[in-house]
Amino acid sequence: MRNDITGFHHVGVVNRDLDAMETTYKRLGFALSPRSQHMLADRPGAPLAPGCTANMCALFGNSYIELLGIVDESAPDPWHTKRMVDQYEGLRILNLDSEMPRKPMRGWVRRDCG
């Protein structure tokens, strides 16, 4: 398994207050992508409506840090992000690169790391 992971694709930080995260990361010197509010449909083909979350990214070549936050408490939340940030705010996503994505996952699960 040592060579199965070839890098990291992105990490994600989740917080209820995206404005505060934006301010903090800019103060630390990060250049961020424009804010993008997630658009949702309640069924395939239905009109899109704004969801409760938005994100911004600090890009590093083929990798990035995703800042994900709640921007509208009253909007739909199909990913249960509000409940997630009620439990924990901070590093929440680690997406690794691999040439063989199924093989590493089996190894991680077998070692109780997944």
User: What is the bridge-based pairing of β-strands 5-15 and 36-40?
Assistant: unpaired
**Class for the domain spanning 5-110:** alpha beta
Residue 9 — pLDDT band, cuts 50, 70, 90? confident
- Contact of 78 with 40, CB cutoff 8 Å: yes
- At residue 98, the pLDDT reads 77
pLDDT in tens, 81-106: 999 999 999 998 888 887 765 665 56
The answer to whether 21 and 90 are in contact (CB under 8 A) is no
Q: What is the pLDDT of residues 16-74, one digit of tens each?
A: 999 999 999 999 999 999 999 999 887 888 899 999 999 999 998 889 999 999 999 99
**Tokens, residue 17:** 């207050």
In terms of DSSP bridges, do strands 63-70 and 5-15 run parallel, antiparallel, or are they unpaired? parallel
CB 41, CB 49: distance < 8 Å: yes
Structure tokens at 2: 């040592």
What's the whole-model pTM score? 0.79
Q: How much is the pLDDT for 105?
A: 59
Domain ranges of the chain: 5-110
Cα(37)–Cα(68) distance, integer angstroms: 10
For the record, the structure tokens of 71 come out as: 């921007």
